[in-house]
């Protein structure tokens, strides 16, 4: 049977969806005054308290929701997240995530969080199993990769962890976005007709960039070729060509194009990016990668990911102190950067800073789970009375 929501709940829900925390909390209390046994209101309240980082309150409200309706999946999510963000309640957290993973088996976050709760409670094997399960559901789940890397680091050291960190980096979609951001493309995707692109180098390169972002490598190559036919020394076009080769796993060609671009424009960020990424794929070229990424971080210091790339190359050289500085620069620019947080955690672990490492991983989870917005997905499904 589909659970019904009162008008007071709908008001609170609307305010909550719009992020109006105080008003939504007040509306929840008004709804509770009418019916204090409404699981929806308690679940909403749990979510709102979680949004305000008031974990004890979130735990109380979510627990109440679950007591009222043991099938209230959004309340499990809010409860588990509240336990994890609050810290020090790993045993309760394990139980909640375990329950949620059973109720909503395809909820990747539940498995990742379950793994983190296991790890915090020193059950490493169970933790690894949970992250592997998450990767079965979503092979690109970054936090599962990074957690596996950290687990490897704890067991066998940085050399074992590095390949996993690199693999997670390669799967990171924001790295491609960095390239397009360095290229100066707008964040939104624009529809355009290739045939109507102006016969000017700038317009063609812009269009080529848009096509590359849409993974239309042939269309992009045609436009780049037109630019290079007119000016073989166009560094921007060469950098685009390098990137196109990189995306098609043609590392040598990518390297050649990027190097050529840099002979014409030594600080061109797009060329530096592509060259650095190519170098970083070859462990023997780690030193070169670090040099290139130093130049990139100087050329584009406002992008957190340029510092992350630098830090990861420094990890390969075992320059942990410098890597830490670079990771910290990245976190300062973007506190929500999961990749930087986990990298920083890895460095802190090698230095013996366990609590800080643990904190960085918790912060990564904090931002990642906030970004995902799973609560509303579960809430809507629960409201409809169906499966997620």
Partner 1 sequence: MAQKKSGGKKPTAKKSAARKPAAVAPVEHVPMRNPDFPVGVDYYPLDEERRSWSDWYDRDPEPDFAAMAASRVSDVRVFVSWRCLETQVGQYDEDALERLERIVEAARAHDLKLVVCFFADDRLAEMNEVPWGKRRDSRTDDYLIQRELSLVQKIVNRYRAEPVIKAWDLGNEAFCSGFETEAALEKWVTELREAIREVDPERPVLLGVDPETLLRETGVDPRGAIDLCERAWSHLTAPYRAYIAEGPVTSGPATYTDSFLLRAALRDLPVVVDGIGVHALEFSAAEEAAYVRTALYSALMNRASGAMLRRWRDLETEKREPYFRDPFEVLVGVVDVTGAPKPVLAEVKRFAAVAARLDPRRYALAPERAAVVIPAERYESLPSLAGLFDPRACLQAYIAAKEAHVPVTVAREGDELGGYHALYLPSPGKLTPSMWADLSAFVQGGGSVVLSYGGGDVDPALREIFGVEFNGDGGPRHTFACRVAQPGVLGDLRSFDARMDLPHFGLVTASGAMVVATDATGSPLLTVNQYGQGKAVFIATPVERAIAQNDPWATPTPVRHLLRTVYGTVASAAGAGAMLECDMPEAELAHFLGEDDDILLILSHNAEKTTATITTPRTVATVQDVRGGAPAEVGGKTFGVPLGPNGVAALRVKFG
Copy the structure tokens of residue 207.
């269009």
Say if CB 161 and CB 346 are below 8 A apart.
Answer: yes
Phi, psi of 143 (to 5 degrees): -65, -35
Q: Would you count residue 352 as binding partner 1 (CB under 8 A)?
A: yes
Q: How far is the CB of 165 from partner 1 (least distance, A)?
A: 21
Q: Which of 244, 245, 207, 212 is nearest to 226 (CA)?
A: 207
Q: Would you count residue 208 as binding partner 1 (CB under 8 A)?
A: no
Q: Would you count residue 358 as binding partner 1 (CB under 8 A)?
A: yes
**Nearest residue (CB) to partner 1, 26 versus 68:** 26
Among 90, 131, 206, 342, binds partner 1 (CB under 8 A): 90
**Nearest residue (CB) to partner 1, 53 versus 156:** 53
**Nearest residue (CB) to partner 1, 3 versus 353:** 353
How far is the C-alpha of 253 from the C-alpha of 170, rounded, in Å?
19
CA gyration radius for the chain?
24
Among 91, 156, 170, 215, binds partner 1 (CB under 8 A): 91
**Nearest residue (CB) to partner 1, 182 versus 329:** 329
Q: How far is the CB of 270 from partner 1 (least distance, A)?
A: 24
- Determine the interface stretch with partner 1 among 71-79, 80-88, 152-160, 168-176 (rule: CB under 8 A): 80-88
Q: How far is the CB of 357 from partner 1 (least distance, A)?
A: 9
Say if CB 307 and CB 329 are below 8 A apart.
Answer: yes
Burial 11-25 (b: 16+ CB within 10 A, else e): bbbebbeeeeeeebb
Among 42, 47, 86, 204, binds partner 1 (CB under 8 A): 86
Q: Would you count residue 217 as binding partner 1 (CB under 8 A)?
A: no
Among 4, 14, 17, 19, binds partner 1 (CB under 8 A): 19
How far is the C-alpha of 217 from the C-alpha of 254, rounded, in Å?
13
Q: Would you count residue 22 as binding partner 1 (CB under 8 A)?
A: yes
Q: Would you count residue 54 as binding partner 1 (CB under 8 A)?
A: yes
Q: DSSP states of 283-307 as a string?
A: GGGHHHHHHHHHHHHHHSTT-HHHH
Residue with tokens 């390297």: 255
Site for partner 1 in 24-53 (CB under 8 A): 25-26, 28-29, 52-53
- Determine the interface stretch with partner 1 among 106-114, 213-221, 248-256, 347-355 (rule: CB under 8 A): 347-355
Among 4, 17, 36, 56, binds partner 1 (CB under 8 A): 56
Q: Which of 337, 338, 340, 333 is nearest to 314 (CA)?
A: 340
Q: Would you count residue 335 as binding partner 1 (CB under 8 A)?
A: yes
Q: Which of 53, 49, 43 is nearest to 362 (CA)?
A: 53
**Nearest residue (CB) to partner 1, 64 versus 270:** 64
Among 105, 354, 385, 387, binds partner 1 (CB under 8 A): 354
Residue 123: Cβ within 10 Å count:
16
Q: Would you count residue 284 as binding partner 1 (CB under 8 A)?
A: no
Instruction: Return the SS3 of 353.
Output: coil
Say if CB 315 and CB 291 are below 8 A apart.
Answer: no
Q: Would you count residue 143 as binding partner 1 (CB under 8 A)?
A: no
Q: Which of 134, 168, 182 is nearest to 315 (CA)?
A: 168
Q: Would you count residue 230 as binding partner 1 (CB under 8 A)?
A: no
Site for partner 1 in 108-137 (CB under 8 A): 120-123
Q: Would you count residue 319 as binding partner 1 (CB under 8 A)?
A: no
Q: At what angle do helices 73-86 and 55-68 cross, to 10 degrees?
A: 150
Copy the structure tokens of residue 332.
């300062």
**Nearest residue (CB) to partner 1, 221 versus 304:** 304
- How many residues belong to the site for partner 1 (CB under 8 A)? 36
Say if CB 100 and CB 84 are below 8 A apart.
Answer: no
Chain contacts with partner 1 (rule: CB under 8 A)? 19, 21-22, 25-26, 28-29, 52-57, 85-91, 94, 120-123, 331-332, 335, 352-356, 358-359, 363
């Amino acid at each position: 049977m589909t659970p019904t929501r009162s008008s007071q709940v709908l008001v609170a829900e609307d305010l909550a969806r719009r992020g109006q925390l105080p008003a939504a909390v007040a509306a929840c209390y008004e709804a509770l005054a009418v019916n204090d046994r409404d699981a929806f209101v308690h679940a909403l309240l749990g979510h709102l308290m979680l949004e305000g980082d008031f974990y004890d309150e979130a735990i109380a409200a979510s627990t109440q929701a679950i007591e009222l309706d043991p099938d209230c999946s959004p309340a499990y999510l809010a409860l588990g997240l509240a336990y994890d963000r609050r810290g020090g309640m790993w045993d309760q957290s394990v139980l909640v995530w375990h329950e949620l993973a059973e109720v909503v088996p395809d909820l990747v976050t539940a498995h990742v969080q379950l793994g983190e709760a296991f790890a915090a409670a020193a059950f490493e094997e169970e933790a690894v199993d949970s992250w592997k399960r998450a990767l079965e559901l979503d092979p690109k789940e970054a936090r599962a990769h990074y957690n596996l890397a950290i687990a490897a680091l704890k067991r066998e050291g940085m050399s074992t962890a590095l390949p996993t960190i690199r693999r997670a980096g390669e799967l990171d979609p924001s790295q491609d976005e960095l390239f397009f951001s360095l290229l100066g493309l707008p964040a939104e995707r624009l529809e355009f007709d290739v045939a109507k692109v102006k016969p000017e180098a700038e317009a063609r390169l812009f269009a080529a960039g848009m096509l590359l972002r849409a993974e239309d490598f042939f269309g992009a190559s045609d436009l780049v070729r037109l630019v290079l036919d007119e000016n073989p020394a166009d560094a921007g076009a060469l950098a685009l060509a390098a990137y196109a080769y990189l995306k098609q796993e043609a590392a040598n060609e990518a390297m050649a194009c990027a190097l050529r671009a840099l002979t014409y424009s030594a600080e061109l960020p797009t060329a530096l990016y592509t060259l650095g990424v190519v170098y970083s794929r070859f462990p023997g070229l780690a030193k070169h990668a670090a040099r290139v990424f130093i130049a990139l971080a100087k050329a584009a210091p406002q992008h957190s990911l340029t510092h992350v790339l630098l830090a990861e190359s420094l990890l390969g050289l075992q320059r942990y102190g410098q890597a830490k500085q670079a990771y910290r620069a990245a976190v300062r620019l973007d506190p929500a950067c999961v990749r930087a947080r986990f990298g920083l955690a890895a460095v802190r672990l090698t230095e013996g800073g366990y609590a800080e490492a643990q904190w960085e991983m918790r912060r990564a989870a904090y931002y990642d789970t906030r970004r995902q917005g799973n609560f509303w997905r579960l809430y809507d499904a629960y409201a409809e009375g169906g499966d997620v």
